[in-house]
Structure formats: C-alpha cells, structure tokens
Amino acid sequence: MREQPIVSKIMRAIIVEDYASAINIITDKDFDPNDRAKAWNTPMISAMINVLSNLNDIQDKTSLKNIFKEIINHKDFDPNAVDIEGETILMHVARHPDFNWLAPFLFLKDNLDVDIKNVLGHDAIDIAEKNNNTVLMDLVISYRAIREKKKLESGNTTVLRGMPKKRVGIKTITKPVVQQPPKDNNEAIIKKIEFAFEDKQKNNPVSLYWLIKQFLKRNYSECLKIVNDVHFDPNERDRWEEPVITSLMYYSQDNMVSYDEEEFKKIAQAILNNRRFDYNALDADCNTPIMVSMGFVRLNWLTELLFAASCTRIDVINDSGENLREIARLSKNEALYNRLIQKSYALAEQV
C-alpha cells in the first residue's frame, strides 16, 4: 500500500476539523513529531501554523489547541527544527499572533534555543517586532531573563548572545467594536485550500485547484467548463494525494460548506463521463471513490453512480483494514450497501 506522508494526513484532518482522526495519528506509536511537509521542507507545527494563519475560521479551537500541545509535548519533539529559510517554529509563531499561546509550551522544552537566526540574520524577536507581535516579544524577553538568572544561579557566567530589545511605552489602543456582516463559510474554506495545491496547479486554469475554488464560490457553470475541457485531468491530485472526485467529496461534506446538490450532480457526472477517469483511484488512506462516498449519507446518489460502473471494485481494503461493507456499517449506511448488492445479484441472474 502507498504510504501517505504523516504531515499530509494530519493537515487534512485539521482542515476539515476531524480531530478524532488527528488524535489517532499523533497517538500512534510510530508517530514522528518532527515530520516535515513537502513544501519548503517545513516542520509539522510550522506547516500547521502557516496553513491556518489565524484561528478565526476554526469552530472547535479547544480541540485544535490540544492537537498542537500533544505534538509539542511528545518526548521526541525538536523545538529548534527549521525550514529551508532557517526559521524555527517560534519564528512562525512570531508571524502569526493568533498562535502566541503556543510559546509557553515551547518554552517548557529544555533544549529550546530562542537565539537562532534565520537566513537573513533575524531572530524570533526581530520577526515579532516586524509583525507588531509585542506579546511574543515580551514573552521571549522574559524567557531570556529567566534563563540568564538560572545560569547565574548555577554559576554559569556565559554571556547571553544578543541582549533582548527593550520595549518602552507600548500603549494599548482599544478599538471600537464594529458589527461585521455574517461570514460566508465557503469563503473561509477557500482561504484554507491555498496550501493544498502546488503553484503549477494554481497557474493552470483547468486544474483541480480551480475546480475546487469555483465549486466553493458556487460558480457551477465555471466548474462544468473546467471538467469538460479537453486538458482537464480527471485523476489529478492535491498535495494530500486526494484525486479529483475524492477531493470534491471531502470539501463538499465539510460542515461549513453549503452547495447546490443538483449542480454537484452535474459536475460529478461530467467527471465520471471522462474516459480517462479512474473509478478505483486510491486516495491517501487507500480508499477508492466509492469507499469515500459510502462514508457520507448525503452522497448516496454518487455512491449509486459509482457502483453502477462495471469497472468499480468493491473488494478494496483501506489502510485501516476496512472494506466497503465495513465503511457502510460505520457510516450507518448499511441499507444502501445491501440494496446495491442485492441489485447487482438480480442483474447477474438476468444475464
């Protein structure tokens, strides 16, 4: 079976807020808290921070924070891991104030080095200052002061490399509360998909990236133009190794996303009509399209379309050891599974 990168697996779970799956990943005995994303060779925690950017669109912030804390608290976690720009996790926090709460957990790691500089010669305080993250600046300054005090108490007189900058007269400004219009949840998801695709996909007007984006924007006519284009690849994958139809399913079934079911049916049918479409393409968890659709009762219409294809296999076992029948049972969709099987038996007897 294909092995899916851990970072891709956990990132997808976090994007759709499937925290149960995320917990299963990080509590596995073989979990590596220092695994890296393919993009920029970024450490797991840094990649998660960059994908989310802020926490405004997260519904269950408590569970998300617990995921971060569990990874940082892992015995093998390296708080000084850097990306290709030489930036540590703390530097990524410095760029994103919404994640300042992570700093104290990083400070608890005995081997944390807050003095590391990136390829431009900037440390975490420099980056925090540039991003007006005064809270993190104060936290790092306090951490340095406590560290130096401990050194002196232990008889270690090593001079601190780079004295902390002093912030004086920081004035807190209370901004007036402005009533915001209701959020379009689809727009919130659109912001999250940027990290899921390569630049070459973003530059290709008939790629999976643009199909997902137009779908979330509810531009269904544009979606049909894309999937009916001769250059469209019906088996293209995103960074999480999700094929076209599977990716559409996962995004459409996110509890924050709304869509027109009849329009989705037209788009799905157009994809399935493509002669190059692989009915048995495996996703990151070794699920075929029908295995994924069976997991969502709202997509029973798609499950029936996939089942009707003579080339669709129903004997595949995924990475969790589940086959189509087991997925149906776990999804409380056994009635559909039994009906489809009985229908196939009836058709076989007619031949």
Do 108 and 10 share a structural domain? Answer: yes
Contacts of 260 (CB under 8 A, 6+ apart): 218, 220
**What is the number of domains present in the chain?**
2
Whether 53 and 189 map to the same domain: the answer is no
Residue 31 sits in a domain of what CATH number?
A: 1.25.40.20
| Structural domain that includes position 275 | 185-350
The pLDDT of residue 344: 74
pLDDT confidence bin for 182, thresholds 50/70/90: very low
Same domain for 212 and 339, yes or no, is yes
Distance CA 200, CA 197 (A): 8
Q: Are residues 38 and 81 in the same domain?
A: yes
Higher pLDDT, 209 or 187: 209
Dihedrals phi, psi of 282, to nearest 5 degrees: -90, 140
Domain boundary among 153, 169, 199: 153
329 plus 190 within the same structural domain: yes
Q: Tell me the mean pLDDT in the region 167-189.
A: 50
Q: What mean pLDDT is reported for the chain? A: 82
Give the pLDDT band (50/70/90) at residue 341: confident
User: Residue 56's pLDDT is what?
Assistant: 66
| Position 159 in a domain | no
pTM as predicted:
0.53
Neighbour count for residue 329 (Cβ, 10 Å): 13
Calculate what percentage of the chain has a pLDDT beyond 90.
Answer: 36
- The answer on 338 and 191 residing in a single domain is yes
- Residues 202 and 102 both lie in one domain: no
Q: Is residue 164 part of a domain?
A: no
Statement: residue 320 has pLDDT above 50: yes
**64 versus 95: which is more confidently predicted?**
95
Same domain for 200 and 321? yes
Q: What is the mean pLDDT of residues 229-257?
A: 90
Residues 147 and 198 occupy one common structural domain: no
Structural domain ending residue among the three candidates 100, 133, 153: 153
Is the residue at 169 inside a domain?
no
Strongest mean pLDDT among 30-39, 69-78, 214-223:
214-223
pLDDT band for position 298 (50/70/90)? Answer: very high
Which one, of 217, 207, 267, 276, lies nearest residue 239 by Cα? Answer: 207
**Among 2-6, 140-144, 146-150, which is the least confidently predicted range?**
2-6
Same structural domain, 195 and 330: yes
